A and B are shown apart, each in its own frame.
Chain A
Amino acid sequence: MTTEFRHNVTLNLAKPNVRANFRKAMDGLMSRRLDQFPDKAELERLRTQSMAIRANALSKLPELLEQLETNLTRNGIHVHWAETPDEANHIVLAILQQHNAKSLIKGKSMVSEEMGMNHFLEGHGIDCLESDLGEFIIQLAQEPPSHIVAPAIHKSRQDVAKLFNEKFPDIPYTENIDELTQAARRILRDKFYAAPVGISGVNFAVAETGTLCLVENEGNGRMSTTVPKVHIAVTGIEKVVEKLSDVPPLLSILTRSATGQPITTYFNMISSPRKPGEKDGPEEVHLVLLDNGRSNIYSDPELLATLRCIRCGACMNHCPVYTRIGGHSYGTVYPGPIGIILEPQKAGLDVHGELTQASTLCGACGEVCPVRIPIPTLINRLRYDGVRKDASTTVGTGSRRKTGEAAAWKSWAWAASHPAIYNFGAKTATRLHGLFPSNMGAWTNVRSAPQLAEQTLHERLKAMGVDHE
């Protein structure tokens, strides 16, 4: 049976230029990250420190969210709670309607992708414009992001040049990156001044001080959050940290893990709307805190580690599967290793459980994760939840159990726990090795058929008289 995922994979594997774009980009990101951590021991220390900060925040999540709300409110920031993407969208829409806003400008936000915000608002006659260069590009191409940090990473310079030429015929064709960037910058600049509302994500929400932190490189985040009259930030409930002093270590490991930068060009700390006498800043600031399945993830002591994620994307940069198939194959907002643990938990194993198979369990993701999320362990856990017979809190538990497969594993377990049966089977197989099919389906598409030995190790050692107890 060809599933949507398998279909996407086949399609994307057959695009040599897209594969080359990913390979080149991921190689670059990996080597830049490596350059930032010359001292392995220091890196491991920082990972543990960052994990501790995130784990601490999660251990007190309900209290910290209350504290965050109290402090944000005291600072003059309106706090809204949304259980579902739909609720979050309606909250945003209501704010827009209060201000008679017909357009908005957005900084990069994966939670807004989770909400399907642009699609929803456009359905209500609101014009949404992405201002992050990568997001701007894929919005022009009408594509979803293919990477959580670098959304247009699947496109080459030439792809972007062609796209700009098609969408903005007035601008002379160029493949020069600086010229393309400048063109986008000119287009966006006017939009910033015209937009009544700016949208952003949040990287860290500090409970202690009621501060929203935003990490970015282009200045569009600062523009989106300071120029329009109203700023609406959207984020997941897990983004809270306890103290302001938690931020510097997380920020440092985030930017180094993500893009190999010691720090980004911009780091914004938003702590209130414009105060009397201040020359810039929005008159109104809102924060929408989205749950969308996070509370359920939180309820499992093992799976809650998923929520430590600081969205650096290092797991995808280092993933042999992601690098080959690209972000669009996953068919979800979050691709790559973090996506294959997060999305099946959010939507249910019945919906996205197949993605848990999109891993060789090589461990590269877990090795680079700056907050030490044991991604391979959680993949294994979700595979278990998918086929287990008893209950668990994971949505869609047991939904991937298929009678035939379950029976096959049962027979296998029976044979492999009865040595006489196993040895008989092994011996028979090796005796018949000449009759083994040379066409073994998918395996032999690119490989020769495995050659069974003429005698098993068991037989040879017995013949050699090795102690066998």
Chain B
Amino acid sequence: MATRPDTIYFFGTCLIDLMYPQAGVSAMQLIQREGVNVIFPQAQTCCGQPAWNSGYRDEARTVARAQIALFPKPIPVVIPSGSCAGMMKVHYPELFANQPDEAQALDVAGRVYELTEFLVDVLQIELKDLGEPVKVAVHTSCSSRREMGVADKIESLLGQLSNVKRVEQIRKAECCGFGGTFAVKQPEISASIVLEKVETIRATQADRLVGQDAGCLMNIGGAMEKQGDAIPHQHIAEFLWERTGGVA
């Protein structure tokens, strides 16, 4: 278990930057409330994963190279997404293998934490639930579950909230069908997967859907909104911040 740092870097991810900035703000506030200073390098953009998953490795590396330069200090890099964290932690070492800046990439990769992992394992955060009773369904992203191996962290955070009842959809571990560019390249298959995911989540009669990846939430949430009568969805950071008082 890593020692508690004084300061961390925060990598907000491009999806959160553009679509869910409140999740990014909440994540940082949660960390700051624990007495940890947060640095947000303003030059950050995207981890490079879309190009990496499309086979455009040179382009992915160009973008990734601009990111690794932003995290020189030997402190954790916290990312509110299993997918982007997985890109940096698991795939940067592959992407930079035999490159002149391989050591720098490995150094950053070794300091990457997904947000819920950081809150639970490093900060050992203790949460006090101040919210009304609510039924929550969790969608764990495949990258959080399989690549980062941190699926249990979001559960343990929610488990600390006394008024939150977790309900579980069937086939919880199955992908939501987003897959980044997959949703664009194979829209019919992606649609068929997300519609089943929505059905299973609706069946839980949850009041809220939470997750640690904006991509999945945008996919599942968007499908529910299209149908109407959507179960509101929220990034786990935003949900935790709201439930625990939301004061810095």
Contacts and interface: CB of A to CB of B under 8 A. Distances in A.
Interface in B31-64: 37-46, 48, 50-60, 62-63
A168 interface: no
A413 B140 CA distance: 29
A19 B189 CA distance: 12
A6 interface: yes
A457 B16 contact: yes
Contacts of A450: 19, 218, 222
A460 interface: yes
B174 A364 contact: yes
A425 to B, nearest CB: 10
Contacts of B186: 9, 321, 357-358
Contacts of B24: 457, 460-461
A422 B45 contact: yes
Contact of A429 (B18, B94, B142, B222): B18
A367 B66 CA distance: 32
A385 B142 CA distance: 24
B66 A419 contact: yes
Contact of B43 (A383, A419, A464): A419
Contact of A416 (B63, B145, B183, B184): B63
A10 B192 CA distance: 10
A451 interface: yes
A335 B186 CA distance: 16
Contact of B45 (A417, A446, A468): A417
A458 interface: yes
Contact of B40 (A9, A27, A453, A467): A467
Nearest to B218: A450
A412 B52 CA distance: 12
Contacts of A419: 42-45, 66
Q: How large is the interface on A (under 10, 10 to 19, 20 to 34, 35 or more residues)?
A: 35 or more
A313 B195 CA distance: 25
A320 interface: yes
A383 B177 CA distance: 19
Interface string B144-179: 011100000000000000000000000101110111
A146 B66 CA distance: 45
Contacts of B193: 320-321, 324, 360
Given A457-B21, A461-B28, A466-B40, A406 B146 contact: no
Interface in A233-280: none
A460 B25 contact: yes
A458 B59 contact: no
B122 interface: no
A417 B64 CA distance: 8
Nearest to B41: A469
Contacts of B42: 419, 423, 458, 461-462, 468-469
Contacts of B177: 320, 360
B187 interface: yes
A383 B54 contact: yes
Nearest to A413: B59
Contacts of B43: 419
A386 interface: yes
B195 A383 contact: no
Interface string A347-374: 0000000000111111110110000000
Contacts of B54: 383, 387, 409
A386 B55 CA distance: 7
Given A360-B142, A446-B195, A464 B147 contact: no
Nearest to B141: A362
B185 A362 contact: no
A367 B143 CA distance: 12
A447 B225 contact: yes
Contacts of B94: 377
A452 interface: yes
Given A445-B187, A448-B226, A462-B42, A467 B175 contact: no
Interface in A292-334: 320-321, 324-325
Contact of A320 (B53, B147, B175): B175
A362 B175 contact: yes
B51 A412 contact: yes
Contacts of A459: 21
Interface in B183-202: 183-196
Closest 9 CB pairs of A and B: A442-B187, A360-B179, A447-B222, A383-B55, A362-B175, A413-B59, A363-B146, A362-B142, A448-B225
Given A409-B56, A443-B184, A453-B21, 19 more contacts: A324-B193, A357-B185, A360-B177, A360-B193, A362-B146, A364-B173, A377-B94, A384-B57, A386-B55, A414-B62, A422-B45, A426-B18, A442-B188, A446-B191, A446-B195, A447-B194, A450-B218, A453-B19, A458-B17
Interface of B: 12, 14, 16-22, 24-25, 28, 37-46, 48, 50-60, 62-63, 65-66, 70, 94, 142-143, 145-147, 171, 173-175, 177-180, 182-196, 218-219, 222-223, 225-226
Interface of A: 6, 9-10, 13, 19, 27, 320-321, 324-325, 357-364, 366-367, 377, 380, 382-388, 400, 406, 409-410, 412-419, 422-423, 426, 429-430, 441-453, 455-462, 464, 466-469
